[in-house]
Chains A and B, each alone.
Chain A
Amino acid sequence: MNWTSFNQSAKRAWTVMTWKLILVAALVFVLVLGQMGARAQLGLDPCCAIISAGLNTISGLLKNVVAKPLGQIQQIQQQAANFQQQVIYPTSAINSARGLAGQMQGQLRQMTQVFRLPTASATLPTPQQLEQALLSRNPQAVGQVSQGYAKVYGTVVAPADAPQPIRDLVDMTDAEAQAALKKALELDALADVELAAADQINQQIQTAAPGSAPILEAQASAWLVRANAYTQSAMAELIRVRSIDLANSGAQLKFSATDVNNLRNNTGQVLGRGAQ
Chain B
Amino acid sequence: MTNRFFKKTTLALGAIFLLTLMPVAANAGVADIISLLTTITSTLQNGVGQVLSEIQSINTTVRNFEQQVVWPVTLINQTRAEVSQMRALFSSLASQIQSIPTNSATLVNPSQLEQLLRSQRAGSLNQINASYTQVYQALPPANQATVMQRNLIDVDDAFALGALKTATVSDQASQQMLTVADGLEQQAAQSAPGSASILTAQAQAANLQNQAMLQKLLAAELRQEAARLAHANALRKQSADANRDLRNNMQQILSR
Contacts and interface: CB of A to CB of B under 8 A. Distances in A.
Interface of A: 12, 15-16, 19-20, 23, 26-27, 30-31, 34-35, 39, 46-47, 50-51, 54-55, 57-58, 61-62, 65-66, 69-70, 72-73, 76-77, 79-80, 83-84, 87-90, 93-94, 96-98, 100-101, 103-104, 107-108, 110-112, 114-115, 117-124, 126-127, 130-131, 134-135, 149, 151-157, 160-162, 166, 169-170, 173-174, 176-178, 180-181, 183-185, 187-188, 190-192, 194-195, 197-198, 201-202, 205, 208, 210, 213-214, 216-217, 220-221, 223-224, 227-228, 230-231, 234-235, 237-238, 241-242, 244-245, 248
A69 B197 contact: no
A30 B183 CA distance: 93
Contacts of B205: 108, 198, 201-202, 205, 216, 220
A57 B165 CA distance: 89
B50 to A, nearest CB: 8
Given A153-B234, A173-B229, A126 B162 contact: no
B222 to A, nearest CB: 4
A134 B55 CA distance: 69
Given A100-B187, A181-B222, A208-B201, A76 B63 contact: yes
A197 B208 contact: yes
A137 B151 CA distance: 23
A220 B173 contact: no
Contacts of B207: 220, 224
B253 to A, nearest CB: 19
B22 A34 contact: yes
Contacts of A210: 194-195, 197-198
Given A20-B10, A93-B191, A58 B219 contact: no
Determine which residue in B67, B173, B205 has the highest number of CB atoms from chain A within 10 A of its CB, and name it: B205
Contacts of B30: 46-47, 50
13 contacts: A50-B30, A58-B37, A58-B41, A83-B66, A127-B158, A170-B236, A187-B219, A188-B216, A190-B212, A217-B200, A220-B201, A224-B207, A241-B226
A80 B64 CA distance: 9
A208 B198 contact: yes
Contact of A216 (B155, B169, B195, B201): B201
Contacts of B135: none
Contacts of A101: 198, 202
Interface in B40-74: 40-41, 44-45, 48-49, 52-53, 55-56, 59-60, 62-63, 66-67, 71, 73
B204 A87 contact: no
Given A170-B233, A173-B232, A180 B223 contact: yes
A73 B56 CA distance: 5
B40 A58 contact: yes
B225 A180 contact: yes
A76 B60 contact: yes
Main secondary structure of the interface of A (DSSP, over half): helix
Contact of A88 (B158, B192, B198): B192
Contact of A108 (B21, B148, B206): B206
Interface of B: 3, 6-7, 10-11, 14, 17-18, 21-22, 25-26, 29-30, 33-34, 37, 40-41, 44-45, 48-49, 52-53, 55-56, 59-60, 62-63, 66-67, 71, 73, 76, 122, 125, 129, 139, 148, 150-152, 154-155, 157-158, 161-162, 165-166, 169-170, 172-173, 176-177, 179-180, 183-184, 187, 190-202, 204-209, 211-216, 218-223, 225-234, 236-238, 240-241, 243-244
A30 B231 CA distance: 129
Contacts of A188: 215-216, 219
Nearest to A154: B237
A70 B60 CA distance: 13
Contacts of A153: 152, 155, 230-231, 233-234, 237
A126 B158 CA distance: 12
Nearest to B162: A119
Contact of B10 (A23, A118, A149): A23
A153 B108 CA distance: 34
A174 B33 CA distance: 104
Contacts of A156: 237
